[in-house]
Amino acid sequence: MVNLFEIFVNIAEDLITISFLTLYFGSKYTGIKKIGGILLGTCVSSSLITIMNSLYIYEGLLGLIFIPVYFLYCVIFLKGDVYTKLFISGFTNCLVYFFALFSILISAELFTHDYKIIFEMTKERVLMIIFNKLLMIASCAVILKFRFPAIAKRKNMLMLILMPIAAEISLNGIMQAFLKYGETNRELLLATIGVMLVNILIYYIFIKISMDASAESERNALSQKYEQDKRYAGEIEDLYKKACGIRHDLTLHFTALKGLLKTDAQKAEQYIDSVLQNQIDTIKLLVKTDNETFDALVNAKIAVCDKLGISVQTRVMNHALDKLSQDEIAVIFGNLFDNAIEASKASKRKHIELDVQTQGQYLSIFMSNSIDGSVLEGNKDLHTTKPEKEFHGFGIKNIERIIEAHDGMVDYFEENGSFCCDIYI
């Protein structure tokens, strides 16, 4: 039978473990849902270990069952990617295994060589448990200072996931040897420390791979930003040339008009009508709002659309963009327009529509572009279709990063031959 003390010990151990995982990745939820998730994870894992303790003095390889238990908790309640969650679940279970074995071997070396005393309700066991839990808490605190919940390269993660499992199997073999040959405690203790050092080295490799992958991702993002800035500079230059052209044309028109007014007022009036009719398409391209960053960017994009034969319709409410910084405006609307232009220029209708307004406390950004065939049907996650994917595909991610920072939401859908992006911030 398992007494109440053993149940309390199991609950304490699993509460430490579940809390560590929660702090490592961060919870998807807040308040009662977050606390409920921690309590549920603790209850499930502590119930399993209590059942095992009632059946076996030592669970052996059955302890591997806690890896999927921790993994499911991470998937359901915590943030982060699946591969990192699986690796950290295995690594955490290996830590728990190591703490238990290390405490047992230390206790056997210091107090007694009879392992049965360690598994009975004695003062040696109580001291061993206290030492075990303090070691767990201290180690978890250190690891949290070097946590890296972001994803590494997946092909590397698949290999790393197996390493904590292999280390735990090795620790299980050491435990079996201790139970069978209790007189070799010191050698087994050294072997246990050696296996754990290898596991720590594996975690270091995981951190290194993740940091390298993150640095590569940042380099790719900077490379894309450089290309966007270069393209944006070209668009601004085109817009400037168009403005200079309009200025030059107006000078000629006013000169001609001045001469006509002296000779024939009726012809001057006809000339004015002709100029307005011929120039109206160019003049109406200019967008003017209370946000200069938005105006400069959108006018540059409209100039690109004009060259590609894409019609653009914009509606922008004054002060609607006040909650966004200049950088956020550039990222959101620059990427939205780039994606819309790329898609609509290949369509027959060639049309883009942008609507920006406030709805209560929210900023509403709605953008649609014409398409000839479904985009979401074969690419619901909107992955880039360009070659050299490592250098592309950051636009949507950067938009969603800003939306998440403002606790907003985004929806992609298709209707009436248009791809639509609906953002609330």
Closest by CA to 171, choosing from 156, 189, 186, is 189
Residue 166 to residue 158: CA distance in whole angstroms: 13
Q: Say if residues 164 and 90 touch (Cβ distance below 8 Å).
A: yes
Q: How far is CA 399 from the centre of its chain?
A: 12
Say whether pLDDT at 114 is over 80: no
Gap between the Cα atoms of 105 and 160, Å rounded: 28
Q: How far apart are CA 67 and CA 85, in angstroms?
A: 10
pLDDT value of residue 391: 35
Q: pLDDT band at residue 57, thresholds of 50, 70 and 90?
A: low
Residue 5 identity (one-letter amino acid): F
Q: How far apart are CA 41 and CA 47, in angstroms?
A: 10
pLDDT at 280 (0 to 100) = 52
Mean pLDDT, the chain, rounded, equals 82
Tell me the per-residue pLDDT of 283-312, one tens digit each, with 9 for 90 and over.
Answer: 555 688 888 888 888 988 888 898 899 999
Tell me 27's DSSP state: B
Tokens for 361? 């406390």
Distance from C-alpha of 313 to C-alpha of 343, rounded to nearest angstrom: 16
H/E segment holding residue 367: strand 362-370
Residue-level pLDDT at 268? 77
Cβ partners under 8 Å of residue 312, min gap 6 = 285, 301, 302, 305, 351, 352, 353, 354
Residues facing 267 on adjacent strands: none
**Nearest Cα residue to 82 out of 96, 68, 64:** 68
Report pLDDT digits (tens) over 64-76.
Answer: 899 999 999 999 9
Give the sign of the dihedral formed by CA 175, CA 176, CA 182, CA 187.
negative
**Could you give the CA distance from residue 340 to residue 207 in angstroms, rounded to a whole number?**
38
Burial of 359 (0-12, 13-18, 19+ CB in 10 A): exposed
Q: What is the pLDDT of residues 326-372, one digit of tens each?
A: 888 888 998 899 999 988 998 999 999 999 999 888 999 999 999 98
What is the model's pLDDT at position 388? 44
CA distance linking residue 72 with residue 66, whole number of Å:
10
> Residue 170 corresponds to which amino acid?
S
Bridge-based pairing of strands 418-424 and 362-370 is: antiparallel
Cβ within 8 Å of residue 115, ≥6 positions away: 104, 108, 178, 179, 182
The pLDDT assigned to 424 comes to: 93
Q: Are strands 311-316 and 351-359 parallel, antiparallel or unpaired?
A: parallel
**pLDDT tier for residue 116 given thresholds of 50, 70 and 90:** low
In this prediction, residue 228 carries a pLDDT of 67
Domain extent listing, the chain: 4-221, 285-424
Are the C-beta atoms of residues 268 and 253 closer than 8 Å to each other?
no
CA–CA separation, 105 and 188 (whole Å): 8
Phi (first) and psi of residue 419, to 5 degrees? -95, 130
**Residue with token string 């000839």:** 372
Q: Per-residue pLDDT for 100 more than 90?
A: no
Question: Contact 153/82 with Cβ under 8 angstroms?
Answer: no
Kindly tell me if the per-residue pLDDT of 173 is higher than 60: yes
Between 75 and 157, where is the model more confident?
Answer: 75
Q: Which CATH class is domain 285-424?
A: alpha beta
